[in-house]
Amino acid sequence: SADPFIGGEHTFVDENVIRGQTYYYQLETVGRNGNTTRSETIELTAGG
């Protein structure tokens, strides 16, 4: 079977946004050894 720690697709739905407000998100991964890595920050503005 595939290793769940390698690759993959992630989805997150933020249900508490305000239209026109800008939000910043990062994905943090935790390796088997406990080390963490953060993705680049993305900036999104909530639409209507």
What's the CA gap between 41 and 25, in Å, rounded? 6
Cβ atoms of 30 and 36 within 8 Å: the answer is: yes
Q: How many helices (H) and strands (E) does the chain have?
A: 0, 4
- Domain of 40, in residue numbers: 1-48
Structure tokens at 11: 């989805």
Residue with tokens 């088997």: 32
What's the CA gap between 48 and 19, in Å, rounded? 6
The number of folded domains in the chain is: 1
Q: Which residue has the higher pLDDT, 2 or 35?
A: 35
Residues 12-42 pLDDT 10s: 899 999 999 999 999 998 888 999 999 999 9
